[in-house]
Amino acid sequence: MTPQRSTRHTTPLSRLTSHLALPLLPLPLTTARVLTAGGAALTLLSTFLAWTWTTAFPGNLTVTGYPGGLQVLTLTGAALTLALLLATTGLPGLRRLNPSRRHTATVHLAAGTFATTWYTLGAIAIRLGGLVNLEPGGYVAGAASLVALVGALALPADRTGPPLPPRPLPAWAEILLIAAVFGLALSVLTYGIGTAYGELFTGFLLLTGFTTAALFATGLGSRFTALAHRHRRVTLTAALVAAVLFPLTQDTDEYTLIIVNILIFSTVALGLNVVVGLAGLLDLGYVAFLGVGAYTAALVSGTTASTLHVHFPFWAAVLTGAAVSLAFGVVIGAPTLRLRGDYLAIVTLGFGEIFRIAVGNLNGESGPSLTNGPNGIPNIPDLVLFGYDFGTPHSLAGLTLTPFANYYLLMLLFTVLVILVFSRAGNSRIGRAWVAIREDETAATAMGINGFRLKLVAFALGATLAGLAGTVQAHVSYTVVPEQYVFAGPVPPNSAFLLAAVILGGMGTITGPLLGAALLYLIPAKLQFLQDYQLLAFGVALILLMRFRPEGIIPSRRQQLEFHESEAGADAGTGTGTTTGRGPGPDGIRLTKAEA
């Protein structure tokens, strides 16, 4: 076994770790395997022991014989590590778990288990004040997960055999597989949202992060992507069904409210992705357009606090909100988009602040009476659509739809609409022109593209989509206040977080901003202790991301293509005989200017 990686990693997520060449530790193969397997098994067993003596640490880790709280995460991680190690060594039943036949995935999982376990032990020590609060079980878990990690890092990089080709499945089995994966994803998400305390959520994030990386390292990730691509319709339906079913899996409104807000945040992020991801325009005041939509909807909602005493039906309110947002978009965009460079960023940043401050001043004292100033517009009534009151629970076939579930479903409709707009606009003559402008505006205009007009279309479309989302947001939050629409603040959505969601998730993709928004909403919501350091932590995280994964969690199709191509190029070798780089003509006829 040569201690070198023979070929490049190819899956996007494993690129994060591709800096480290396996094995990091020089140990014989058998020793490495035994250490990993033994460590993982012992870690698994240790979760049945007590890790601490008091129930003061949440999740009750004091019971022997029954894992609880964070122990369950360690248990899951250890079990997966063990399964994957056995799969990679070629255990017949499990082999299919790791078709790439590389140890990388095992390393990811061992690292994930180690991180989760040590995080738990650290959290216990910090919360209860010292390592004395650990029971022997905790020490066993810590030592065992370390041993497993050491063993895993000593595993060789080579494949243990040729990669397994995908086993052909009948179509119905493939569809069933897609459904199962979505079911699994839904339950993982529900678990994450339902985590009752910050420590459990952090542990959950750690383990899911590493497991996802491992999943892609095994090759199962890209296989599923290919499968989902083949059955596009089925996949979309499954995603939609999973999304619709979500509120039905909840018996309280607490998490449904979280998910509605996530949905609003993601939808707005996706709207921003048209502007930033496709057309490459840096909009730093995007949240103002959400505010315009929300304020418009609030003003025409019929609330007593509104200075306009009108009550539009919802569809009319939506159209008004979108139209007003569109108008603002055109007014802001028309003068600035003619200029190149950073002017747009400056102007939108200013617009975002001006909107917030102006809305705070339109209270009848510092300005005309319109928005009720800093107090905002409260008591926005619940929506009633076709006699269906969104504010009361409804019973549907034995299942209860809570008020927030109603709004969730409505918002889902808007999300689907925005997804549709994004994908259809992006994949058309207009969308290609946007990307061309983003890539090279001079070349784009030389290809006949009217740069100004197309940028204005993108900007206005983005504003409209945000306005649409705003109309729903006004009803979900019952109140609109200027402070909801800041540039940067602890509560998403704000302009900085929106931009971060797009960049973190992956520019120009659909799933990227959705995932990015979910993460950026959940992390501050779950980790209250971060409150004061949130923006700092956030900045550090973004810098790290830009350093290690500039394309975001989910790379766009174009960037994925790049991975595949570099692989294909390496295999095929060069030899086209083309010269790269400019130089004088090789045949020596090229003439140069005489010395003056």
Partner 1 sequence: MTTTTTAAPVLTATGVTMRFGGLTAVHAVDLTVHEGQIVGLIGPNGAGKTTFFNCLTGLYVPTEGTVTYRDRVLPAKPHLVTQAGIARTFQNIRLFANMTVLENVLVGRHTRTKEGLFSALLRGPAFRRAERASEDRAMELLSFTGLTAKRDHLARNLPYGEQRKLEIARALASEPGLLLLDEPTAGMNPQETRATEELVTAIRDRGTAVLVIEHDMRFIFNLCDHVAVLVQGEKLVEGTPETVQRDERVVAAYLGTPFEGAPGREEIAEVEAAEAHAAEETDR
Question: By the criterion CB under 8 A, which residues form the site for partner 1?
Answer: 420-421, 424-425, 427-433, 435-436, 439-440, 442-451, 457, 461, 558-559, 561-562, 565-566, 569, 574, 576-583, 585-587, 589-595
Look up residue 488 and give its two tokens: 């940067």
- Is 346 in a helix, a strand, or coil? helix
Residue 144 CB, shortest distance to partner 1, in Å, is: 46
Nearer to partner 1, 428 or 528 (CB): 428
Phi, psi of 384 (to 5 degrees): -130, 115
The residue among 167 and 582 lying less far from partner 1, judged by its C-beta, is 582
Between 193 and 326, name the residue whose CB sits nearer to partner 1: 326
What's the min distance (Å) between Cβ of 174 and partner 1?
24
Residue 275: CB minimum distance to partner 1, A: 14
The kind and range of the H/E element at 223 are helix 220-230
Helix %, strand %, coil % of the chain (to 5): 65, 5, 35
What count of other Cβ atoms lies within 10 Å of the Cβ of residue 142? 20
Q: Which is nearer to partner 1, 35 or 281 (CB)?
A: 281
Nearer of residues 125 and 421 to partner 1, judged by Cβ: 421
Nearer to partner 1, 251 or 439 (CB): 439
Residue type, 91: L
Of 311 and 558, which CB lies nearer to partner 1 in the complex structure?
558
| Nearest approach, Cβ of residue 421 and partner 1 (Å) | 6
Number of Cβ atoms within 10 Å of the Cβ of 58 = 16
Residue 160: how many other CB atoms lie within 10 Å:
18
Can you state the angle between helices 136-153 and 104-128, rounded to 10 degrees?
150
Structure tokens at 121: 């032990």
- Nearest distance in Å: CB 454, partner 1: 9
Closest C-alpha among 88, 214, 212, 220 to residue 167: 220
Residue 591 burial by Cβ neighbours in a 10 Å radius (0-12, 13-18, 19+):
exposed
Burial of 265 (0-12, 13-18, 19+ CB in 10 A): buried
- Output 369 or 450, the one with its CB closest to partner 1: 450
Cα of 267 vs its chain's centroid, Å: 12
Query: Which CB atom, from 96 or from 453, has the smaller least distance to partner 1?
Result: 453
Q: What is the DSSP letter of 369?
A: B
Stretch (H or E) spanning 316: helix 314-336
Q: Are 11 and 217 in contact (CB under 8 A)?
A: yes
Q: End-to-end CA distance of the chain: give it in Å, rounded.
A: 64
**What values do phi and psi take at 283, rounded to 5?**
-110, 110
Helix axes 104-128, 198-217, angle to 10 degrees: 170
| Cβ atoms of 218 and 116 closer than 8 Å | no
Minimum distance of partner 1 from residue 543's CB (angstroms): 23
Min separation Cβ 322 and partner 1, Å: 14
DSSP structure class, residue 13: G
The pair of three-digit structure tokens given for residue 490, joined into one six-digit string? 């602890």
Helices (H), 375-508: 403-426, 429-439, 441-446, 451-477, 495-505
Contacts of 433 (CB under 8 A, 6+ apart): 444, 449, 454
CB-based contact 407:472 (threshold 8 Å): yes
213 vs 554 by CB, closer to partner 1? 554
C-alpha closest to that of 519 among 256, 215, 249, 205: 205
For residue 460, give both structure tokens.
Answer: 């206005």
CA distance 103 to 152: 8
Dihedral angle at the C-alpha atoms of 17, 498, 246, 530, nearest 10 degrees? 70
Nearer to partner 1, 127 or 564 (CB): 564
By beta-carbon proximity to partner 1, the closer residue of 342 and 439 is 439
Q: Between residues 32 and 554, which has the closer beta carbon with respect to partner 1?
A: 554
Tokens standing for residue 457: 């279309």
**Residue with smaller CB distance to partner 1, 309 or 557:** 557
Residue 289 beta carbon to partner 1: minimum distance, rounded to whole angstroms = 18
